[in-house]
Amino acid sequence: MNNLLMEIENEVAVVTINRPKSLNALNSETLSELKACFEDIENRKDIKVVILTGSGTKAFVAGADISEMVNATPAEGRQMALLAKDAFMKLETMPQVTIAAVNGYALGGGCEISMACDIRVASDNAKFGQPETGLGILPGFGGTQRLARLVGKGRAKELIFTCDQIDAAEAYRIGLANKVVPQAELLDTCKAMAAKIISKGSYAISLAKQAINTGMDTDLSSGLTLEAELFGLSFATHDKKEGMTAFLEKRKADLTDF
């Protein structure tokens, strides 16, 4: 991998997008590497949480790579968006929990990849925005879809139509960021959150993730039916037996399933 770093410790993979000279902008090569990386992770049992971040202290990801797109044809633009769609869908639907550690600018494709994560923790210098219409294009890595789902249609339209950058506090206020912390504490905060998540039933979490993701894209009744099915499935696990028995025996549960 030329543009990614990955470290695994205590069942947590920290994936760092590493193109600091262009503020970690996403070119096609990086998108392909992200897709391959997420395909690898989704089949691994030794990783339960993924933390996605950008290298350096200035940018998470400053967007798709403008120097690659400037001379791209319509077909190439479409191809790049479809590659990002595949990579980000992998990220969104993998059974592992994904946390974006947003360590600076999250613009365009940067905001978009953070929104494909389950949770966004922002450092206090983070800036979010969708500047695409100022470049004569529209968000193409999921911004028109995921931003509206996360913060509502009106706010998404305002951000996309004005290209306003919002700071971490505003991102928190509108529900785009789950938490804001000083930059020096960003990774430790994400790792502490990861440890808490890993101490719960991993398989149950993956089922809950599936129920939430699928349920948000369907009607309530279908979502509730899916939830009932997955709820039933969770009763087949070691973790369900152990979690409930431990409660009744007034001891700490030893949850292991994935």
Active-site residue, 227 included: no
Are 115 and 142 in contact, with CB atoms under 8 Å apart? yes
From the list 18, 8, 1, the residue with the least C-alpha distance to 41 is 8
Are 60 and 104 in contact, with CB atoms under 8 Å apart? yes
What is the spatial distance between Cα 202 and Cα 108, in angstroms, rounded to a whole number? 32
Contact window for ligand CAA (CB under 6 A) among 20-28, 92-100, 116-124, 245-253: 20-28
Quote the least distance from Cβ 213 to ligand CAA, whole Å: 21
Quote the least distance from Cβ 124 to ligand CAA, whole Å: 17
Token reading at 255: 């949850």
Token reading at 68: 């690659």
From the list 78, 90, 81, the residue with the least C-alpha distance to 52 is 90
Of residues 69 through 128, those in contact with ligand CAA by CB under 6 A are 105, 107-109, 112
Which of the residues 11, 33, 92, 112 is marked catalytic? 112
* Number of helices and strands in the chain (H, E): 11, 10
Nearer to ligand CAA, 38 or 141 (CB): 141
User: Looking at residue 38, what DSSP letter applies?
Assistant: H
* Chain position whose Cβ is nearest to ligand CAA: 108
Contact window for ligand CAA (CB under 6 A) among 60-68, 145-153, 217-225, 245-253: 60-68
Phi, psi angle pair for 77, to nearest 5°: -60, -45
Nearer to ligand CAA, 62 or 204 (CB): 62
Helix 220-234 with 202-216: angle, nearest 10 deg: 170
* Residues in contact with ligand CAA, shown as a per-residue x/- string from 126 to 165 under the rule CB under 6 A: -----xx--x---xxx-x----------------------
Active-site residue, 132 included: yes
Quote the least distance from Cβ 107 to ligand CAA, whole Å: 4
- Give the footprint of ligand CAA on this chain (CB under 6 A): 22-23, 25, 62-67, 105, 107-109, 112, 131-132, 135, 139-141, 143
